[in-house]
Amino acid sequence: MARKKISLIGGGQIGGVLAQLCALRELGDVVLFDIVEGLPQGKMLDIAEVGPVDRYDVCLKGTNSYEDIKGSDIVIVTAGLPRKPGMSRDDLIEVNSKIMTSVAEGIKQYAPDSIVIVISNPLDAMVTLCQKITGFPHSRVIGQAGVLDSARFATFIAWELGVSVKDVTAMTLGGHGDDMVPLVRYASVNGIPVMELLEQKYNDKAKAKEVMEAMVKRTRGAGGEVVALLKTGSAFYSPASSAIAMAESILKDQKRVLPTCCFLQGEFGVSGFYVGVPAVLGEKGVESIIQFKLDAEEQAMMDKSVAAVKELVGSMK
């Protein structure tokens, strides 16, 4: 059986970590593409040379030629500029649309059967554009945002409650912007509602609500918090790990349920737009979207987030 092939478009901060994670997990052979000469070649040589230490054995190639992505099972796109302090993700739309256009054309020509995971910001708009240009079925063009936003939410909950991050489940829906929807009602520690645990901890419903609201706010601004600290770029370890979880579910047909930026056709009351929702990811890409009832408050937040996505996507035309 042939090995899987993963191509990474964009060899910057996230691209480099993606390549290393693919190697460490032996997900398949990896191609790292960038327009900067030497950058992807240098990074792949660097990662390849430590195979004997980390004990992975995969082919790692850096390239400036789209031809090398031929036969890819998965393509992960990080090409594009990251934010600087004070910028919103949406401020990147003009420059990153141009980059995404050329990238999507390359994928369409050289990896027509691949499943594409977009990471570049502004995420919801870049996924939309990538699907339009490739013309691939919507199930094969998706975006990574929700795995990371959810992980951030879960991390803050674990810290607050003093429990292992491994035992917290939390999820965010909606667009990858400041209006994302962290689902408080479904956040749990091994199935026990987080709100119940917060109420126990503080013995005060109002205080528990206040603490949760602060965690929701921090989750919404978590990308910006990292940008403000780094000053020269945005988060890169966490988006890479998050996309790898999605890629692994697809490559190994694990059918994990992961919050994914998916094209909706009526689900959650949304039609014709890419928005973050829980999806089953398997060998065909998005195999189904998991729907469930939102209460009035959650639906209102979702509607607000979707309105922001619509405005963003509309501004691209």
Q: Please report the sign of the dihedral spanned by the C-alpha atoms of residue 48, residue 35, residue 63, residue 23.
A: positive
Stretch that binds ligand TXD, among 99-107, 127-135, 194-202, 288-296 (CB under 6 A): 99-107
Q: Return the exposure string of 278-290: e unless at least 16 CB atoms fall within 10 Å of the residue's CB, then b.
A: bbbbbeebbebbe
Q: How large is the angle between the packed helices 123-134 and 93-110, nearest 10 degrees?
A: 30
Q: Please report the sign of the dihedral spanned by the C-alpha atoms of residue 259, residue 237, residue 124, residue 184.
A: positive
User: 138 catalytic, yes or no?
Assistant: no
- The catalytic residue among 4, 5, 43, 176 is 176
Indicate the residue among 15 and 175 with the shorter CB distance to ligand TXD.
15
Q: Which of 6, 15, 116, 309 binds ligand TXD (CB under 6 A)?
A: 15
Least distance (Å) between residue 205 CB and ligand TXD:
34
* Binding of ligand TXD by 171 (CB under 6 A): no
* Binding of ligand TXD by 234 (CB under 6 A): yes
* Binding of ligand TXD by 134 (CB under 6 A): no
Q: Which of 123, 187, 280, 301 binds ligand TXD (CB under 6 A)?
A: 123
Indicate the residue among 81 and 257 with the shorter CB distance to ligand TXD.
81
**Secondary-structure percent of the chain, ordered helix, strand, coil, rounded to 5:** 50, 20, 30
**Where in 70-89 is the site for ligand TXD (CB under 6 A)?**
78-83
Least distance (Å) between residue 132 CB and ligand TXD:
17
Q: Return the exposure string of 18-45: e unless at least 16 CB atoms fall within 10 Å of the residue's CB, then b.
A: bbbbbbbeebbbbbbbbeeeebbbebbe
Q: Is 244 annotated as a binding residue?
A: no
Give the H/E segment covering residue 93: helix 93-110
Main-chain phi, psi angles of 74, to 5 degrees: -135, 140
* Binding of ligand TXD by 130 (CB under 6 A): no
Beta strands 74-77 and 168-169, pairing class: unpaired
The residue whose two tokens read 């040589």 is 45
Least distance (Å) between residue 296 CB and ligand TXD:
29
Closest CA to 275 of 243, 297, 308, 247: 308
Closest CA to 199 of 210, 190, 189: 210
Contact track, ligand TXD, 211-230, x by CB under 6 A: ------------x-------
- The rounded distance, in Å, linking the Cα atoms of 26 and 115 is 18
* Binding of ligand TXD by 173 (CB under 6 A): no
- Which stretches of the chain bind ligand TXD, using CB under 6 A? 9-15, 34-36, 39, 78-83, 92, 96, 99, 102-103, 119-121, 123, 144-145, 148, 176, 223, 233-236, 239
Annotated binding site for substrate: 83, 89, 121, 152
Residues annotated in a binding site for NAD(+) = 10-15, 34, 96, 119-121
Any idea which residues carry the catalytic annotation?
176
